[in-house]
Amino acid sequence: VVSQLPNFHKWLKNHDVDYEMFTAGDYKRTVTVFGENDDEDRAKYQEELEQTHELFKHFVNRYRGMLDVDKVATGEHWYGEDALHLNLVDKLQTSDSYLLERMKNNEVYALHSRQKPTIAEKLGLSQAAEATLSMAIDKLPDALARFDFNSRLNILK
């Protein structure tokens, strides 16, 4: 379990910026990015991190009970064979072989995300027209920058 955050309290103070935080409850916000953190706040935050780590270890122990949880819940990570020897995984295989194996006795679904249709597609324009429209839109800022609005307005007067 890791938590890190910058603290801008000194910078804000040096620039005469007040930071105010309002909470209900003594421990609603123990440490803050903008306020001044004291040792008591840091200790409470550390206690909460330790509690989260213990919950994680209990979860791992419950579902992977055949391993030494204190050995593996250190923040380190293991790949392949090392993870297998530590009982972090049941076996090593590719995702394809896993899915093929599951397909024998289960329904496996392929999910595809759909790209949002472009404005040209929404308007039913062909690909050629879409490319032309896209190029015109890309060139529009340069064309507007070169356009002399003042002289055009004088003509209209």
Q: Where do the domains of the chain lie?
A: 9-103, 119-156
pLDDT for position 153:
58
pTM equals: 0.59
pLDDT for position 142:
83
pLDDT for position 80:
95
Nearest to 73 by CA among 47, 50, 91, 48: 50
**What are the φ/ψ torsions at residue 36 (nearest 5 degrees)?**
-85, 125
Could you say which residues of the chain have pLDDT below 70? 125-126, 148-157
| Start-to-end C-alpha separation, the chain | 70
Q: Please tell me the distance from the alpha carbon of residue 88 to that of residue 14, in angstroms, as a whole number.
A: 50
φ/ψ bin of 146: left (φ > 0), alpha (ψ from -120 to 50), beta (otherwise):
alpha
